[in-house]
Amino acid sequence: MARAAAPRTFSDAKATYQTNSELAWWVFMRVSGFLLVFLTFGHLWANNMAFNAGEIDFDYVASRLAQPSVKVYDSFLLLFALLHGVNGLRYSIEDYIQRPQRRVAAKVALFTVAGIVFVLGVMALWTFSFTEMGDAVRALEP
Amino acid sequence: MQINVKIKRYNPEADARPYWAEYKLEARGSDRVLDVINHLKWEVDGTLAFRRSCAHGICGSDAMLINGVNRLACKVLVKDLGERITIEPIRGLPVLKDLIVDMEPFFDSYKAVLPFFINDDPPPPGERYQSAEDRAVFDETTKCILCAACTTSCPVFWTNGRYLGPAAIVNAHRFIFDSRDQGAAERLGVLNQANGLWRCRTAYNCTEACPRDIPITRAIEEVKRALLWRGA
Amino acid sequence: MYRGREGQWAFVLHRMSGVALALFLLLHVIDISLVMWGPDGPFNAFLAFYHQWPFRVGLIVVIAGVVYHALNGLRIIMMDFTEWGVRYQAALWYGVLGLTTLIGIPVLWKIVPEILGIA
Amino acid sequence: MNRAHKFDVIVVGAGGAGLMAARYAAQHPGVSVAVISKLYPTRSHTGAAQGGVGAALGNVSEDHPEWHAFDTIKGGDYLTDQDVAERFAVEVIEAVYELEHMGLPFNRTPEGKIAQRKFGGHTREFGKSAVERACYAADRTGHMILQTLYQQSIKDRVNFFNEFHVLDMIMEGGACHGVVAYELATGDIHTFHAKATIIATGGNGRMFRVTSNAHALTGDLMSIAYRRGLPIEDPEFYQFHPTGLYKLGVLLTEGARGEGAILRNGDGERFMERYAPTIKDLAPRDMVSRAMYLEIREGRGAGPDKDYIHLDLTHIDAHVIETRLPDITEFSRIYLGVDPIKELVPIQPTAHYAMGGIPTTIDTQVISDGQNTIVPGLYAAGEVACASIHGANRLGTNSLGDLIVFGRRAGIEAAKFAASEGFTELPAGVQDRTRELIDGVRKGKRKERVSHLRRELQDTMQDYASVFRTEEFLSQQVEILRDLQERYECVGVEDEGHKFNTELLEAIELGFLLDNAEQLVHAALNRQESRGAHSREDFKERDDATWLKHTLVYKDGDGVRIDYKPVTLGKYEPKPRTY
Ligand SMILES: Cc1cc2nc3c(=O)[nH]c(=O)nc-3n(C[C@H](O)[C@H](O)[C@H](O)COP(=O)(O)OP(=O)(O)OC[C@H]3O[C@@H](n4cnc5c(N)ncnc54)[C@H](O)[C@@H]3O)c2cc1C
Ligand code: HEM
Ligand code: SF4
Ligand code: F3S
Ligand code: FES
């Protein structure tokens, strides 16, 4: 079984540890989780309860994303949910993938995907203007 | 009464992989599971291998997965299990033969948290004083007999053998909260690392499994808070 | 199967729902961002893809999951920061299950027909 | 793994005595130490001890080592060597403080000192009244000692060979040069070459049917030493604790009767009134055990087989039981399904402690005869040894004291010896005897089952040589043992494997137990008096004129040879033992 060298003595122990990152992430999961209660439920309320989820289409989404308040709200949601969710997925990777190389590979893949998704999300929220950019983007279509 | 015992057996010198063996035998409700497997070993099949010593729940030799739960074979009676008894080795540690697992990884994790008293001040001629209240804070975690029932019941440990596990944290707790000890910062430092304390997902299997009734999850949470609030 | 009790199942469900949510979130951001390519772009195609049966059911599970995950997340926070959270963890979990059902039923009552396209 | 090892000091056994010895040996500069144990150290039976460790700290009320020494000597029915008891009573105080400095979590007095409580036989001013002398950590004192010492040995980076079963000592020219051990995990035989060897392998209670002792307590090294021509001192003195759980032998502390529990026979009669009209149920351990045994033998036992006695706590306040006797409450609930608050608890005297063992000097050096001839390089401490501090009867709490005082001495003495000596050549064929022993069982005829022989041994020892002895029964037992020894030649094992062949070791352990039984029975038959735990129905009185001496039992061909060693007397003249 692959194991990190375990400290047996005082000085070993001092030499072994350096970071507080696991603690920081643990705290973040709780803080973000708490905020996400409001963010996700609000989001769900707006899109599923106050609206018929079965009728979601381009116009609905586009019109929503045109509102600045939605942009701000969804930005927070995106940021927290993504960080929270990705760190949660990382936990699963730590627990279920035991070969060190594969574990690293899985984490790299996860963080890459998460990075791309984050950029896409931010672009959709902020660089996209329904009136100006929209036409420009659409003009690119073949 | 007639009971049916299923044991997951494995002989590294003969079997390619573990298999289930079934035995039917007479037992009394008041028999310990240890008595049952002793009987099997002594009368039916001498090759059955397991560890045992004290036979009353004090030495920690015979933690096993009995009817789906980790227990000490000497601390659970037939009548509390019914006529069908299933026994497997505890999970997450390499099986060496039948119910015997390799305890070295378990003890390595234990040793990693510096499970010994640290106080470099020269001792007084008599005892170091400690109030009864200070003594009570870590009373529960001094009861550990290192049986591994907790660590091998933890769903995180099953899949992630690098996790130090609840037993190591319990033993760290015993010293971190001892008012006479000076090594708390180092132990917390070890527990703060990737495979330490923060891998615990509060699944409580450890607490349910502990034959010494140590409130393990509570202790783990106390250590988490100690790490969180320590003035570092 | 290890015969764990409340805590074990709380953890298993929390992790399953969390992973499901996280994967859903990744997909969801991707599909929403497709609006950038306009009404004739891939967005509606994607939406059509989404409207296949397995995804509709999946969406319902995710919504149920988010309710459970959120409430159990609050349970975890209580256990982490208070003594009684640990002491009453089992009771709290039944509370989580109860509330999940309580919130879930009316929500699903409204959404399920919509998502399934019955309404 | 390398199968030949060389250490300056080897400790066999990782209980309280062994770990203490290892710790102090390792503190000697430049001395290498290894501990060999057939169990993981924390599985040792020291962990089962509940009551406490006696030391005259005087934290609760005035106390002095002289008082402790006197109690020990009187408790031992004057068979205790008085110089040893006096030194012990002083050193145990230092040893307890050292344990505290190692972090042992003792209970505390309101001022924060080590808490102490009363215990049977411990008195102030030479017997005036009970004194608080037992230092305790809840009812887990032994557990805490074992854990604390193991923790320190991790700190000290002691070398451990866990699950290595010692099967022979290397003896050459009257000196000891190490041991030979069988590695459980692989079946390999290892040679441990040492300048000094410390034996700390605990008791041998498994020769009896009902015992508080662990399965592992099979007196291995007492038998190995015996086979190697060394004597065993005072084996006839074997302590039976009156209140063991029926059939299981799990100990119920004396505290139960202290709180007012009553013993009742099958007719519900409070029979102790007949045996000890004044103090009744609180009579000394040996007396109570004897009375219980008599009741059972005369057909007044309780239960379908009329083979146990009841401990009655039902008249005691439920709250008192729950708070002051939580352990025995748990034990009887779990194991017998009996709730002591409402029901009678079935109990039986339980084989508990060997006062005798491998004879040593006050410095734990093993001796080979009545003239204190020292066996160079060999030391012994703990229950396996006989210094003799417990004499004919051990006081409660003195065993844990014994472990830490003599374990420490053994470590210091052995290291000193090792530092001043060189390694000698090992004799040729050091592993021969061990191989013979193992092959004998492996290739055995398998006509006899180990478990059946062991059961017969335990049953007959319990019936003929336990609490209550007569010439007739003991002679009968001598015959039975001879027969069992013969049949033992025909045992065998089904398991032909090498890895974790626990069946093989159980068979070998049975051989060791048979030797232990032989020592005990012959010594008991020989000693024609009643003293302490040894009580002969046919010789009811203590006879100081003839028998104020230690027994030494030697193996002699197929039989035994008995010799004697004088008792070291001192300040305290032997007096009748009354309380
Ligand atoms: C239930 C119970 C309660 C007790 N309560 C008290 C009390 O309150 N106060 C008190 O003073 N005393 C008490 N005693 C007595 C005391 O606990 C024991 O006498 C003492 O612990 C023995 O310690 P030890 O170190 O000699 O041996 P143990 O702790 O028995 O250790 C023996 C060691 O030797 C090893 N070993 C044995 N054979 C071999 C071999 N062949 N090869 C390698 N290793 C071997 C074992 O693995 C083990 O590590 C109690 C005893 C019992 C059974
Ligand atoms: C709605 C409010 C939410 C709350 C209160 C919440 C709370 C928590 C908490 C406290 C944890 C840590 C669990 C632990 O350490 O044992 C956690 C884990 C996790 N969360 Fe959330 N969360 C919420 C929403 C989300 C969302 C929206 C996602 C998806 C994007 C998500 C995905 C995860 C994942 C994957 C884990 C890891 C699970 C594990 O390791 O067992 N959570 N959540
Ligand atoms: S904490 Fe409990 S279950 Fe875990 S090793 Fe210690 S005694 Fe065993
Ligand atoms: S079972 Fe495992 S997840 Fe934590 S509460 Fe116990 S260590
Ligand atoms: S045999 Fe000692 S704990 Fe079960």
CB B89 within 8 A of CB B100: yes
Q: Answer yes or no: is D252 within a domain.
A: yes
Most D CBs within 10 A among B96, B111, B127, B177, hence the mutation to make, goes to B127
Adjacent-strand bridge partners of B69: B66
The whole-number pLDDT of residue B82 equals 92
**How many CB atoms lie under 10 A from the CB of residue D204?**
32
Q: Which of D23, D87, D285, D324 is catalytic?
A: D285
Residue D200 makes CB contacts below 8 A (sequence gap 6+) with D11, D12, D13, D14, D15, D17, D18, D21, D380, D381, D382, D384, D385, D407, D410
- Residue D112 near residue B129, CB atoms below 8 Å: yes
Q: Extract the tokens encoding A60.
A: 């609905």
3-state secondary structure of D191: strand
Residue of D nearest to A11 (CA): D155
C-alpha pair distances (Å), B89 with each of B19, B43, C111? 12, 21, 47
Q: Residue D467: give its domain's CATH number.
A: 1.20.58.100
CA separation for the pair D60, D116 (Å, rounded): 6
Give the per-residue pLDDT at A6. 57
- pLDDT for A101 equals 93
Contact B193 A94 (CB under 8 A): no
Chain A residue with minimum CA distance to B194: A22
D342 contact A CB<8A: no
Residues of chain A with pLDDT under 70: 1-17, 53-54, 128-142
For D24-85, give the DSSP string.
Answer: HHHTSTT--EEEEESS-GGGSGGGG--S-EE----SSS---HHHHHHHHHHHTTT-S-HHHH
Q: Give the pLDDT mean for B111-117.
A: 95
Residue C61 amino acid letter = V
Residue B61 has pLDDT above 90, yes or no: yes
Question: Measured between CB atoms, which of B111, B195, B198 is closest to A4?
Answer: B195
Q: Is the CB of A30 under 6 A from ligand 2?
A: yes
CATH of the domain at C53: 1.20.1300.10
The overall average pLDDT reported for chain A is: 82
Q: D164 near D182, Cβ under 8 Å?
A: yes
Helical residues (DSSP H) of chain B, grouped into ranges: 33-39, 104-112, 132-137, 155-159, 166-176, 184-191, 205-209, 216-229
Rg (CA), chain B: 20
User: What string of DSSP letters covers B213-228?
Assistant: ---HHHHHHHHHHHHH
CATH number, domain at D286?
3.90.700.10
Residue C98: inside a domain: yes
Chain B interface includes A139 (CB < 8 A): no
If one counts the domains in chain D, the total is 2
Interface of A with B in 45-64 (CB under 8 A): none
DSSP-derived secondary structure letter, A6: P
Q: Where are the beta strands (DSSP E) in chain B?
A: 2-9, 19-26, 63-66, 69-72, 84-88, 95-97, 100-101
Picking from D93, D94, D108, D113 by the largest number of B CB atoms within 10 A of its own CB, the best residue to mutate is D108
3-class secondary structure, D172: strand
> Which of B58, B144, B164, B222 is the pocket-test mutation for ligand 3 (most atoms within 8 Å of CB)?
B144
For B134-170, write each residue's pLDDT tens digit: 999 999 999 999 999 999 999 999 999 999 999 999 9
Give the ligand whose atoms come closest to the C-alpha of residue C10.
2
Q: Does D93 touch chain B (CB under 8 A)?
A: no
Amino acid making up residue B5: V
DSSP string for D458-496 = HHHHHHHSSSSB-HHHHHHHHHHHHHHHHHHTTB--S--
The DSSP 8-state label assigned to residue D202 in this structure reads: -
- Ligand 5 pocket test, pick from B59, B150, B212, B213 with the greatest ligand atom count within 8 Å of Cβ, gives B59
- Mean pLDDT, residues B36-42: 97
Q: Give the one of D47, D152, D493 whose C-beta lies nearest to B58's C-beta.
A: D47
**What does A14-73 look like in DSSP terms, one character per residue?**
HHH----HHHHHHHHHHHHHHHHHHHHHHHHIIIIITTTGGG--HHHHHHHHTSHHHHHH
SS3 D148: helix
Is the separation of the CB atoms in D232 and D529 below 8 Å?
A: no
Residues lower than pLDDT 70 in chain D: 1-2, 255, 258, 279, 323-324, 579
- CA A29, A30, A32, A38 dihedral sign is positive
Which one-letter DSSP state was computed for residue D194? Answer: E
Q: Whose CA is nearest to atom 5 of ligand 3?
A: B146
Overall average pLDDT of the B71-100 stretch: 96
**Is D61 within the bounds of a domain?**
no
pLDDT at residue B231 in the model? 53
Residues 6+ apart with CB under 8 A from A121: A78, A82, C29, C32, C33
CA D214 to chain centre: 11
Instruction: Provide the CA C117 distance to its chain's centre, in angstroms.
Output: 20
D3 assigned to active site: no
CA distance D363 to D372: 12
Domain boundary pick from D284, D319, D352: D352
Cβ-defined contact of B58 to D100 (cutoff 8 Å): no
| H or E stretch at A81 | helix A68-96
| Inside any domain, residue D523 | yes
CA B150 to CA B154: how far, in whole Å? 7
Of D131, D112, D111, D109, give the one whose Cα is nearest residue D122. D131
A120 contacts C30? CB cut-off 8 A:
yes
Asked if residue C64 is part of any domain, the answer here is yes
Q: How far apart are CA D492 and CA B34, in angstroms?
A: 23
Helix (H) or strand (E) holding D193: strand D189-199
- Residue spans of beta strands (DSSP E) within D226-334: 232-233, 238-245, 262-264, 309-312
Q: How many CB atoms lie within 10 A of CB D577?
A: 16
Q: How many CB atoms lie within 10 A of CB D203?
A: 29
**C-alpha angle C19/C23/C26, rounded to 5°?**
140
- As given in the structure block, the two tokens for residue B226 are 């100690």
Chains with ≥3 Cβ pairs under 8 A against B?
A, C, D
The domain A20-140 having CATH identifier 1.20.1300.10: the answer here is: yes
Angular region, A69: left φ>0, alpha ψ -120 to 50, beta rest: alpha
Among A22, A27, A36, residue to substitute to test ligand 2 (most atoms within 8 Å of Cβ)? A36
Going from the Cα of B152 to the center of ligand 3, the distance in angstroms, rounded, reads 10
Per-residue pLDDT 10s for chain C (119 aa) are 899 999 999 999 999 999 999 999 999 999 888 877 777 778 777 777 777 778 878 888 888 999 999 999 999 999 999 999 999 999 999 999 999 999 988 888 887 787 777 65
Give the closest residue to B147 by CA, choosing from B199, B206, B188: B206
Q: Outline where D139-217 has alpha helix (H).
A: 141-155
Residue A98 near chain B (CB below 8 Å) = yes
Residues 6-35 of A with CB under 8 A from D: 8-9
Q: Are strands D129-135 and B69-72 parallel, antiparallel or unpaired?
A: unpaired
Does C110 touch chain A if contact means CB atoms closer than 8 Å? yes
Task: Decide if D39 and B53 are in contact by the 8 Å CB cutoff.
Answer: yes
Those of residues 66-95 in A touching chain B at CB distance below 8 A are 94-95
Read off the pLDDT of residues B187-210 as tens digits, 9 standing for 90 and up: 999 999 888 999 999 999 999 999
Residues 43-82 of D with CB under 8 A from B: 43-45, 47-48, 57
- Structural domains of chain B ordered from first start: 2-101 (3.10.20.30), 104-231 (1.10.1060.10)
Structural domain span for residue C103: 6-116
Ligand 5, atom nearest to B51 Cα: 1
Q: Which residues contact A75 (CB under 8 A, 6 or more apart)?
A: A122, A125, A126
H helices of D344-470, where?
398-420, 432-442, 450-464
Structural domain that includes position D441: 432-531+549-566
Instruction: Round to whole Å and give the CA distance between B137 and B133.
Output: 7
Tokens of D568: 């070291």
Q: Are B201 and C12 in contact (CB under 8 A)?
A: no
D348 with D452, same domain: the answer is: no
Q: Does B156 touch chain A (CB under 8 A)?
A: yes
Task: Give D425's DSSP letter.
Answer: P
C67: left (phi over 0), alpha (psi -120 to 50) or beta: alpha
Task: State which amino acid sits at residue D288.
Answer: V
Residue B206 Cβ < 6 Å to ligand 4: yes
* Chain B CB within 8 Å of residue D148 CB: yes
ipTM value:
0.93
pLDDT at A1 (0 to 100): 34
| Domain assignment present for D104 | no
Task: Please name which ligand lies nearest the alpha carbon of A88.
Answer: 2
Q: Which residue of C has its CA nearest to B65?
A: C2
- What residue's CA is closest to ligand 2, atom 29? C22
Cα separation, D497 vs B12, whole angstroms? 9
Whether the CB of B203 sits within 6 Å of ligand 4: yes
A81 lines ligand 2 (CB under 6 A): yes
DSSP one-letter string for D518-532? HHHHHHHHH--S-BT
The dihedral sign for the CA sequence A121, A125, A130, A134: negative
Q: Is residue C18 part of a domain?
A: yes
Selected for mutation to probe chain B from A94, A96, A104 (highest B CB count within 10 Å) is A94
Smallest Cβ–Cβ distance between B203 and the set C1, C7, C81 belongs to C7
What's the D358 CA to ligand 1 centre distance in angstroms?
15
What would the two tokens of residue D227 be? 């086979």
The rounded Å distance from CA B144 to ligand 3 centre is: 5
The binding-site residues of ligand 5, defined as CB within 6 angstroms of any ligand atom, are B 52-55, 57-62, 72, 74
Nearest to D387 by CA among D376, D395, D379, D377: D379
Rounded distance from Cα D198 to ligand 4 centre (Å): 41
Tokens of D431: 């592993």
Span from the CA of B208 to the centroid of ligand 4 (angstroms): 10
Best mutation site among D400, D409, D434, D505 for ligand 1 pocket (most ligand atoms within 8 Å of CB): D400
Distance C14 CA to ligand 2 centre (A): 7
Residue D48: which of B146, B53, B116, B151 has the closest Cα?
B53
Report CB contact under 8 Å: B96, D47.
no
Q: What is the model's pLDDT at position A72? A: 92
Q: Which two tokens stand for residue A64?
A: 């929503």
Domains of chain C: total: 1
| Alpha helix (H) residue ranges in D51-192 | 65-75, 82-101, 141-155
Q: What are phi and psi of D277, to 5 degrees?
A: -55, -30
Nearest CB partner across the interface for A10, out of B156, B159, B186: B186
